[in-house]
Structure 1
Amino acid sequence: MSYQKTKELLNPILNVLNRNTHLFLNDIVNELALYFKLDENFLSQRYEVSNAKIFENTVLWKLNDLSKSGLIDFIKTNNKRAYIVSKKGISFLNKSNDEIAKYISDNYKKKIKNVEELDKPEHPIEISLEMAQIAPLEQLENSYKILRNQIYDDILDVVLSKSPIAFEHIVTQLLQKMGYGDGEVTQISRDGGIDARIKGDVLGFEQIYVQAKRYQRDKTISRQDIQSFIGALSGIEGNATKGVFITTAQFSNDAKEFAQKIQKSRIILIDGKQLAKYIYEYELGVQTEKSFSIKKIDNDFWNEFQNNE
């Protein structure tokens, strides 16, 4: 069994806590992993905007929802929360996830309404059932991905506004940013299908040959284009065994499969989406607009202070 929406964790959590008393977060995660048959690769996935594990953080947020709704309780042991199902929660053991999610949402809206009546804000807060089910880190992660993908589009727009010759210089600088040695754009009239040469290492013991094609995004690079590139590599005097085909367009599945099966030469394909991602990650022609950090409690610090009895 697998789950698609975070609300599908609600009933299993209540039943896990009903079968076992005073479980810590990691115990609950392990129980849910067994219930949903989640593998270690899934459990180890982390958010890009923080170092938090996605599934563990999602479970923590559902525990927070259930706790604030009075369906579960907890006690603190060594500064860690041990969870138990409450008397109210026991009455929800046979309820569906949708019913539990609606109860949590109604409870949350009631609290917000009480706050609004006290503070009388100019613009009342609208809380949807869907938003109430999404953990803050997940919302932040989704917003980050939306912004990043928009920047990827902006990067490609800028690249496509440049000339083919400028594009060759751009990809040469990018490969140098990625840690390879010095590169140079080849002579246009004599390149024979090779647009740039890059030192495979800073000392230049091997060469990487580049073909750079600035095409519109919807154009597809075919297998024949890859074959032509390989032909250009074979015509180079010496040992030309490594090539990179970079484009603002996309590659056909046939082209990708062909490049993977080549034995004499190793060909790496970089399409428009991957190109924009590399430009963004290696900070070529982009700058940080704003940065922020996500902090968490330092238990080692707080544990130094003992409560006076």
Structure 2
Amino acid sequence: MTIPDFQSLMRPVLAHLGDGQVVRSRAVKDSMVTEFALTPEEREQMIPSGRQRVMDNRVSWALTYLAQAGLIERPVRGQVEITPQGRAALTHHPERIDMKVLEDYPGYRAFKERTKVVADTPSGVETAQDAMATPQELVQAAVSQNRAALEVEVLNRALALSPTGFEDLVMVLLEKMGYGRLGTIARTSASGDAGVDGIISQDPLGLDRIYVQAKRYALDRTVDRPRIHEFAGALLGKQGDRGVYITTSSFTTGARSEAERINARIELIDGALLAELLVRYEVGVQVEQRVALHRMDEDFFDSIG
């Protein structure tokens, strides 16, 4: 039997989780190898980068897309379980679950919107080829799909951190972004520095400072105007005029208006932007594969012709 594509794996993967138990992702991958009776050669076949088996890669994509649709969830690192929506999907779709089925779920539609592409597969091949897409467009579609999925996963992982762990994550991100390069960057909440979770000193003497507030809030818990007003008060108490407020959730309209109204300059980073920055600056993520595209050098041939 040939290695199934990732869409063909969606329902078998979901069915494997149908008993409601929390299962390790590794166990799901192994079970699919057995269920599809892969040959030893097929089991060992690698993706082009040589860093992962093809079957493991496709099961991972199936899990990712099921998670985007809300049919499974990841309660802890490296483990998955079916959701009530997932159990209902098994009943309503006894033959196959694929991209077309996932369109029925708001979570998946929101995921597709984030990609801002028309492709319907991780590689973008099916739809993009039909539209006579160029190789560059195929790669862009693949990157967009991958980034959108990864941003959701990395934000969920940030939500699972402890409050101090989240503050540490924020400090690492800001350092990766180049802040404190000529000075220092440090978390302060452990020492009881009320109202401020971190201080960035932009110069060796600490004369140029940026104050940081980092709040790991559930996605449905918004940051409102009073929280921004309190942070502004903390800045005033330290004679500071610049701050950044970072949260995993979102800001109300009133909170954003307050940040614009006060004299201090306060930048607001919500969960969506935080996830984008974590992926962009490769904090908590790893590069799996880099792709190089080549084109004909007409100038070279003209010079020797």
- Within 2, Cα distance between the matches of 1:157 and 1:205? 36
Q: How far is the alpha carbon of 1:136 from its aligned partner?
A: 4.1
Unpaired stretches in structure 1, ≥5 consecutive residues: 1-125
Equivalent residue number for residue 249 of structure 1: 249
Q: For residues 127 and 170 of structure 1, do their structure 2 counterparts lie closer, same or farther at Cα, with a shift above 3 Å needed?
A: closer
Q: How far is the alpha carbon of 1:230 from its aligned partner?
A: 0.5
Q: For residues 167 and 254 of structure 1, do their structure 2 counterparts lie closer, same or farther at Cα, with a shift above 3 Å needed?
A: same
Equivalent residue number for residue 85 of structure 2: none
Contact 2:211 2:243 (C-alpha < 8 Å) held by counterparts: yes
Equivalent residue number for residue 233 of structure 1: 235
Per-residue CA shift, 1:245-284, capped at 9, x if unaligned?
000111112222321233x211011111111111112122
3-state SS in 2 of match to 1:221: coil
Q: For residues 230 and 288 of structure 1, do their structure 2 counterparts lie closer, same or farther at Cα, with a shift above 3 Å needed?
A: same
Q: For residues 128 and 199 of structure 1, do their structure 2 counterparts lie closer, same or farther at Cα, with a shift above 3 Å needed?
A: closer
- Within 2, Cα distance between the matches of 1:284 and 1:127? 32
Give the one of 176, 185, 188 matched to 1:186. Answer: 188
- Within 1, Cα distance between the matches of 2:206 and 2:130? 54
Equivalent residue number for residue 146 of structure 1: 145
Equivalent residue number for residue 72 of structure 2: none
- Within 2, Cα distance between the matches of 1:174 and 1:180? 9
Equivalent residue number for residue 280 of structure 2: 281
CA-based RMSD of the aligned residues comes to 2.3
Per-residue CA shift, 1:139-190, capped at 9, x if unaligned?
3322211110111111112111110011111111211111111211114463
- Within 1, Cα distance between the matches of 2:177 and 2:237? 27
Residue pairs, 1:1-309, within 5 angstroms: 131-181=130-180, 182-188=184-190, 190-201=192-203, 204-236=206-238, 239-262=239-262, 264-306=263-305
Q: For residues 164 and 257 of structure 1, do their structure 2 counterparts lie closer, same or farther at Cα, with a shift above 3 Å needed?
A: same
Equivalent residue number for residue 84 of structure 1: none
**2:258 partner letter:** F
- Within 1, Cα distance between the matches of 2:173 and 2:126? 45
Q: How far is the alpha carbon of 1:135 from its aligned partner?
A: 4.2
- Within 1, Cα distance between the matches of 2:264 and 2:280? 27
Unpaired stretches in structure 2, ≥5 consecutive residues: 1-124
Q: For residues 258 and 240 of structure 1, do their structure 2 counterparts lie closer, same or farther at Cα, with a shift above 3 Å needed?
A: same
- Identity fraction in percent: 39
- Within 1, Cα distance between the matches of 2:242 and 2:298? 50
The aligned length equals 178
Q: How far is the alpha carbon of 1:130 from its aligned partner?
A: 8.3
**1:144 partner letter:** V
- Within 2, Cα distance between the matches of 1:129 and 1:159? 33
Contact 1:180 1:202 (C-alpha < 8 Å) held by counterparts: no
Contact 1:207 1:240 (C-alpha < 8 Å) held by counterparts: yes
Contact 2:186 2:199 (C-alpha < 8 Å) held by counterparts: yes
- Within 2, Cα distance between the matches of 1:189 and 1:204? 18
Q: For residues 302 and 212 of structure 1, do their structure 2 counterparts lie closer, same or farther at Cα, with a shift above 3 Å needed?
A: same
Q: For residues 292 and 218 of structure 1, do their structure 2 counterparts lie closer, same or farther at Cα, with a shift above 3 Å needed?
A: same
Per-residue CA shift, 1:64-83, capped at 9, x if unaligned?
xxxxxxxxxxxxxxxxxxxx
Contact 1:185 1:196 (C-alpha < 8 Å) held by counterparts: yes
Radius of gyration: which is bigger? 1
3-state SS in 1 of match to 2:165: helix
- Within 2, Cα distance between the matches of 1:280 and 1:151? 7
Instruction: Compute the TM-score of the two structures, normalised by the length of structure 1.
Output: 0.53
